[in-house]
Amino acid sequence: MAGLHAVRAVLSATVVVPEAIFERHAAFCPHTVGAQLAEQLDAFVRRESLGYYPALEFAQQRGALDEQLLAALDQLAWLGTSLVRDELRTRLRPLFASVQVQSMQALAYSMPPVRPAQASALSRLAEHLTPNRARFDLLLTLLRKRADAGDLASYVERASYRHLSQAFDTIEITNSKVLE
């Protein structure tokens, strides 16, 4: 009789945490924080005549952002990523032998993918700076009767999406790969 084989897979995705979660656990709304940060960052960019929106850290180092607003962002981002981490483990653990979070990032801290001259720049910047989205990379282990990887990447993607979609407003799987 053949034994079980451990197959490892990597899954990368971006999720949006539901507003109701923040209403239950936070004192302030992520959309309000994102909109106010966007206004301050936009004013800084126009004052400095930059052709791009920098990451928040750049503007913070130059004193262009309100420290209390950044503290609110930090709290909401911590809450959001903690909740995402918990949901990942809770919802994926029944499917896989192990679920390891390799990396987790609140997207608000990354470089905004919008430029000041683009249409709807301020609203797109506010959406980016809203701390309700997280990007993560997971290392998953599956136990299989056969050693062949076959169509496991597709299975990992479909099964993960099905189980995670119940917990988040949106989920975008950006990569899934079976490791040899």
Q: Looking at residue 33, what is its pLDDT?
A: 96
Q: Which SS3 state, helix, strand or coil, does residue 166 take? A: coil
| pLDDT value at 2 more than 70 | no
Q: How do the domains of the chain map onto residue ranges?
A: 5-179
Per-residue pLDDT band at 147 (split at 50, 70, 90): low
Q: Looking at residue 148, what is its pLDDT?
A: 58
Q: Kindly report the CA angle at 70 between 29 and 108, in degrees rounded to 5?
A: 70
Percent of the chain past pLDDT 70, that is, above it, reads 96
What is the distance between the alpha carbons of residues 146 and 90, in angstroms, rounded to a whole number? Answer: 26
Reported as a single tens digit per residue, the pLDDT across 35-62 is: 999 999 999 999 999 999 999 999 999 9
Q: Is this prediction's pTM over 0.75? A: yes
Average pLDDT estimate for 8-33: 93
Reported as a single tens digit per residue, the pLDDT across 77-123 is: 999 999 999 999 999 999 999 999 999 999 999 999 999 999 999 99
Q: Looking at residue 6, what is its pLDDT?
A: 87
What is the distance between the alpha carbons of residues 174 and 107, in angstroms, rounded to a whole number? Answer: 14
> For residue 166, with 0-12 CB atoms within 10 Å meaning exposed, 13-18 middle and 19 or more buried, which class applies?
exposed
Average pLDDT taken over every residue of the chain: 93
| pLDDT value at 1 more than 90 | no
Q: Looking at residue 149, what is its pLDDT?
A: 60
